[in-house]
Amino acid sequence: MVESPHYFARVSRSAGIAATLCLLVLTGGCDKQEAERVEPVRPVKAMKVGELETMDNSYIPGKARAAQEVDLSFRVGGPLIERPVHVGDQISQGDLIARIDPRDYEVELRNTQGRLDNQKAELRRATSEYQRELRIFKEDPGATSEVAVERKREARDKARAGIASLQAEVDAAQDRLDYTNLRAPFDGTITKTYVENFQTVQPNEQIARLLDNRRIKFDMDLPEKWISFVPYIEKIEVIFDAFPNRAIPAEIFEVSKEASRTTRTYRVTLMMEQPEGVRILAGMAGRATGELNLPEEMAEQQGLTVPPSAVFSPDTGEASYVWVVDEQSSTVHRREVAAMTLSDSGVVVEQGLKPGEWVVTAGVHYLTEGQEVRILEDRGE
């Protein structure tokens, strides 16, 4: 049966009306979603000014590593003929770690030594001829010439220079022969082996990893607002997760002079002796704590100190500002600060802040007046 043209017209109008209704429904849904969309709460790092106790007795996470650690490798290449060590072995300084087949290097040394011996013989002959020519010239000048004497002297000097060059080659060949023996540079423990015996290895290819666990280093990261207080931290102890009931005394070993570009923290390394009764291994996680003992005059100065990253100056003026967080509304408000001085621990603000106020310490250029935020307390954890 063939449908009439009027039927197709009715179908077309119905489809158009349905499409329009769908579009309106979708558009209305999008508008509704847009209206319901709200700006997310921005997390910010902040500190409460006038509270040094946040550092005192705080627990700073970190990780242990050996006082000395090295991946051992040969300076020369060749097939291994001996590798007596295994993972877990206790090694003393000078013990053999691995040995390369030395025969090619022994042949090289003998050949070079032979050339040196020939050159020494050449020097003896050239020296004898020079002395004979010089004696004739002195006794009977007419029997020879000054030019002939000079020629014999040059031959002697050339032979002497050849000896110096070949002696250096012999020394290098002897070194390469010695390098076929890989020995421990210090007492320690083999924690990893990279090759098997009888395998051909290349120069600088890793053979074994050696750690000295008699002393332990502990790496932790401190925020920039704390780094100037490090010299005044006393009674430092480290508690490892594996031994939660054991506090191990430690001392400050090294303090980084440059902050991390990503976290703006400074690496501080502690050093401790391997304790009795437990064994701290490289990679163990733990946390360090200590007591802050500031000089009296310095402690009085620290009340309203903020890190330099908290202070900013808009392009429109020379005044300096900080972002203060309103704890009631969880919003930030720009506050002008003045009479600032730079101390070892940061920027000391004398006007514009009150003790106990929260100040944003990072990302100050990405905030707007009245923006809702969530405080990530900047305690170095």
CA 44 to chain centre: 27
Q: How confident is the model at residue 209 (pLDDT cuts 50, 70, 90)?
A: very high
Which structure tokens are listed for 161? Answer: 């220079």
Domain at 355, CATH number: 2.40.420.20
Among residues 158, 178, 198, which one ends one of the domains? 178
Question: How many other CB atoms are there within 10 angstroms of residue 233's CB atom?
Answer: 20
Closest CA to 360 of 370, 342, 373: 373
> Does the residue 7 lie in any domain?
no
Is residue 274 in some structural domain? yes
> Is the distance from CB of 355 to CB of 304 less than 8 angstroms?
yes
Same domain, 291 and 311: no
Is the sign of the CA dihedral 365, 370, 374, 376 positive or negative?
Answer: positive
Interval 257-277: pLDDT, tens: 888 888 888 999 999 999 988
- 225 and 174 within one domain: no
Residue pLDDT, tens place only, 214-255: 899 999 998 877 787 888 888 999 999 999 999 999 999 999
Q: Rounded CA gap, 110 and 177, in Å?
A: 11
pLDDT at 7 over 50: no
User: Which amino acid type is present at position 85?
Assistant: V
Q: 221 and 291: one domain?
A: yes
- Give the per-residue SS3 of 111-133: HHHHHHHHHHHHHHHHHHHHHHH
Using DSSP, state whether 90 is helix, strand or coil.
Answer: strand
Tokens at 113, concatenated: 């030594």
pLDDT higher for 313 or 224? 313
> How confident is the prediction for the chain on average, in pLDDT?
84
Residue after which a domain boundary falls, among 154, 178, 202? 178
Does 209 fall in a domain?
Answer: no
Q: Is the pLDDT of residue 330 over 80?
A: yes
Joined together, the tokens standing for residue 240 give 């490892």
Question: What does the pLDDT look like over 78-125, one tens digit per residue?
Answer: 999 999 999 999 999 999 999 999 999 999 999 999 999 999 999 999
**Rounded to two decimals, what is the model's pTM?**
0.56
Question: DSSP characters for 197-220?
Answer: TT-EE-TT-EEEEEEEEEEEEEEE
Tell me if 231 sits within 8 A of 283, measured CB to CB: no
pLDDT in tens, 139-170: 888 888 888 889 999 999 999 999 999 999 99
Q: What is the pLDDT of residue 19?
A: 45
Same domain, 295 and 309: no
Total tally of structural domains belonging to the chain = 3
Q: Specify whether 364 is located in the same domain as 347.
A: yes
Same domain, 257 and 321: no
CA-to-CA dists, residue 270 to 20, 173, 303, angstroms: 71, 43, 28
- State the pLDDT at residue 297: 61
The answer on 264 and 232 residing in a single domain is yes
pLDDT above 80 (res 285) = yes
- Over range 283-310, report the average pLDDT: 78
Which of the pair, 102 or 31, is modelled with greater confidence?
102
Region for residue 122 given its phi and psi (left: phi exceeds 0; alpha: psi -120 to 50; beta: otherwise): alpha
The two structure tokens encoding residue 108: 């090289």
Task: Answer yes or no: do 262 and 309 share one domain.
Answer: no
User: Does 31 score more than 90 pLDDT?
Assistant: no
**Position 45 in a domain:** no
State the CATH number of the domain containing residue 170: 1.10.287
Please tell me whether residues 112 and 170 are part of one structural domain. Answer: yes
pLDDT of residue 12: 45
pLDDT at res. 350: 79
Domain-embedded: residue 21 = no
Confirm if 177 and 106 have CB atoms less than 8 A apart. Answer: yes
The reply to whether 93 falls in a domain is no
Residue 8 has pLDDT above 70, yes or no: no
Q: Using CA atoms, how far apart are residues 70 and 207, in angstroms rounded to an integer?
A: 11
Output the domain CATH number for residue 251.
Answer: 2.40.30.170
Inside any domain, residue 159: yes
In a shared domain, residues 234 and 162: no
Range of the domain at 112: 103-178
Do residues 192 and 174 make contact, with C-beta atoms less than 8 angstroms apart?
no
- Rounded to whole angstroms, how far apart are CA atoms 329 and 324? 12
Q: Are 321 and 313 in contact (CB under 8 A)?
A: yes
| Through-space distance between the first and last CA atoms of the chain, rounded to whole angstroms | 81
